Amino acid sequence: MSERTLKVGLVQQSVADNDKATNWNKSAAKIAELAEQGAELILLQELHSTLYFCQNEDTDAFDLAEPIPGPATAFFGEIAEQHNIVLVTSLFEKRGSGLYHNTAVVFDRSREIAGKYRKMHIPDDPGFYEKFYFTPGDMGFEPIQTSVGKLGVLVCWDQWYPEAARLMAMAGAEILFYPTAIGWDMTDTSDERKRQHDAWHTIQRAHAVANSVPVVVANRTGFESSPTEGDPGIQFWGRSFIAGPQGEILAQASSDREETLLVDIDMTRTEQVKRIWPYFRDRRIDAYDDLVKRWRD
């Protein structure tokens, strides 16, 4: 089996305001740093162009959305071409009048869009009112073919669903990517914060284990106040990480700093691990019919 190594990077950053140009240029500078270090594939965090506007329900926030293609895809497509990299971005997509999605867009060493994925699972919780803004995706769980392989791109809340990761892997995804924006309610206790973070960390490492593929997770960091008076705001917990196909942590960022991560991923290990742990061989697909039901009443 011939060896194949891929240099994969991610950007973890904070967002201070809704000035897209400032935020794009900050991302561009970090992308340039990673590219200079040899990164071939780079992931940005969820909704990196603006503040996390879903802390409340505000129709004016729809003004932040843009079409695809549009200004953001033009900017990041040029960056991907300039640095000759595969780039995974995350945008607030205006698909049509009154129709919006939370969409990941992938560029493959060019200004042209290689593919996109619309977030399928949409949360609706205090401080995370995403159902107000985003229509659930309608593109299914389809990997995006690039020059470095098939990428299984999912988005944030998708990270809690083993079905999504499994379907991407079953379609040939060689790496799973999760741009995300998750943090703590400032009123949470320290014990609750630890439980939440550990659950988030564990579930995504489990996707790597269950599917024998690397997982790359880019989360934002920093505090973002709520537009609603009296609400505590969100402390995004950072802790972006890259895991190998057995869930082993290859690199992890801090909780409170803007950082980049860069890892050499041995892509041949996926095949080696699948030969030793043949989960796909042993799946009992004849007994899983009820998985398509909401509940087994």
Token pair for residue 249? 């942590």
- In single-letter form, the type of residue at position 282 comes to D
Cα(15)–Cα(293) distance, integer angstroms: 39
Establish whether 46 is a catalytic residue: yes
Taking CB atoms within 8 Å and a gap of at least 24, the contacts of 4-7 are 4/266, 4/267, 4/268, 5/264, 5/265, 5/266, 5/267, 6/40, 6/41, 6/148, 6/149, 6/264, 6/265, 6/267, 7/37, 7/38, 7/39, 7/40, 7/41, 7/262, 7/263, 7/264, 7/265
156 catalytic residue (yes or no): yes
**Active-site option among 94, 116, 156, 224:** 156
Give the C-alpha distances (Å, rounded to integers) separating 104 from 56, 118, 164, 212, 226.
22, 6, 15, 23, 25
The question of whether 224 is a catalytic residue gets the answer no
Q: Which residues contact 97 (CB under 8 A, 6 or more apart)?
A: none
- Which position among 7, 26, 40, 46 bears the catalytic label? 46
Out of 119, 150, 174, 224, pick the active-site residue: 119
Helices first, then strands: H and E counts in the chain: 5, 15
Residues catalogued as catalytic: 46, 119, 156
